[in-house]
Structure 1
Amino acid sequence: MSVQVESLPYRHILSLPTTGAAVRLARQTTEDVLIDCGVDLRHPSVGPALLIVAELVTNAVRHAAVLSPTVTVTYAHGPGVFAFAVHDSHPYQPALYGALAAAPGGGLATVVEMTMELGGTAVLRPDADGYGKSIRITLPL
């Protein structure tokens, strides 16, 4: 699945403080965005999307909050695809696909595994200044 997220017609941006409450708010906003886009919440990609968003925001809260006072989730939707990116300002850049071997069953490994099982993509994009990153997920609808 190769999709230019920037070209998708529907976009929504959510910025939250990197606190525990961010996880619940990001998950709820993801559900609201899917509903706004006309996606049936029984679609097989919805449950995994909610879990993936929650895991990525949890990682930002647990590991990036010391250097990243906010976490931002950007959503995009178009025909047949739902995409989102979770951004924080911490310079550490985890190896997404290395997580499958290094920490099977761990949070990031689960994110990558679920994304791949659905035929989606997971990509880490470093900020140009090197002081942050986005993890972008695309899932088929």
Structure 2
Amino acid sequence: MTVQVQALPYRHVLTLPTTGGAVRLARQTTEDVLIDCGVDLRHPSVGPALLIVAELVTNAVRHAAVLSPSVTVTYAHGTGAFAFAVHDRHPYQPALYGALATAPGGGLATVAEMTMELGGTAVVRPDADGCGKSIWITLPL
């Protein structure tokens, strides 16, 4: 799947404190954004999208909270694609596809595997100052 995220109109940006409640709110907001974009919640990409958002926000809460008091989820939607990014201010940049080999069955490996199975993309983009990152997921609709 080749989609330029920049070409997708942004629909919503959600910023939450890196606490346990962030996961539930991010998942609910993802569902709400999909509904607002006219996506049928029975579409095969919706369940994986909700799980991936929950996993990435959980990771930010568990591992980045010490350096990142908040996590931001950015959503974009366009014809045939739904994209979202989870951003925190921790400098560690995980190797998403490396997780398939080093931690099969783990959270990031599951994210990479589901994204690939759906024909989507997953990219880690560092902040310009190197003190944070966004993990962008793009899934077909």
Q: Are residue 5 (structure 1) and residue 32 (structure 2) matched? A: no
Partner residue of 1:75?
A: 75
1:96 and 1:10 map into 2 onto residues whose CA distance is 24
- Identity, in percent, stands at 89
Partner residue of 1:102?
A: 102
Q: TM-score, normalised by structure 1?
A: 0.99
Partner residue of 1:140?
A: 140
2:128 and 2:11 map into 1 onto residues whose CA distance is 22
Q: What secondary structure is seen at the aligned counterpart in 1 of 2:131?
A: coil
Shift of 1:9: 2.0
1:10 and 1:93 map into 2 onto residues whose CA distance is 24
Consecutive unaligned residues of structure 2, counting only runs of 5 or more, are none
1:91 and 1:78 map into 2 onto residues whose CA distance is 30
Post-superposition Cα deviations, 1:67-123, rounded to whole Å, max 9, x if no partner, equal 000000000000000000000000011111110000000000000000000000000
- The number of equivalent residue pairs is 141
Runs of 4+ in 1 over 2 A off after TM superposition: none
Partner residue of 1:34?
A: 34
Post-superposition Cα deviations, 1:57-76, rounded to whole Å, max 9, x if no partner, equal 00000000000000000000
Matched to 2:45, the amino acid is: S
2:123 and 2:31 map into 1 onto residues whose CA distance is 22
Matched to 1:57, the amino acid is: V
Is the Cα contact below 8 Å between 2:11 and 2:33 reproduced in 1?
no
Shift of 1:11: 2.3
Shift of 1:133: 0.3
Shift of 1:2: 1.4
Q: Are residue 49 (structure 1) and residue 49 (structure 2) matched? A: yes
Post-superposition Cα deviations, 1:41-71, rounded to whole Å, max 9, x if no partner, equal 0000000000000000000000000000000
Post-superposition Cα deviations, 1:20-39, rounded to whole Å, max 9, x if no partner, equal 00000000000000000000
Q: What secondary structure is seen at the aligned counterpart in 2 of 1:43?
A: coil
Partner residue of 1:122?
A: 122
Is the Cα contact below 8 Å between 2:19 and 2:61 reproduced in 1?
yes
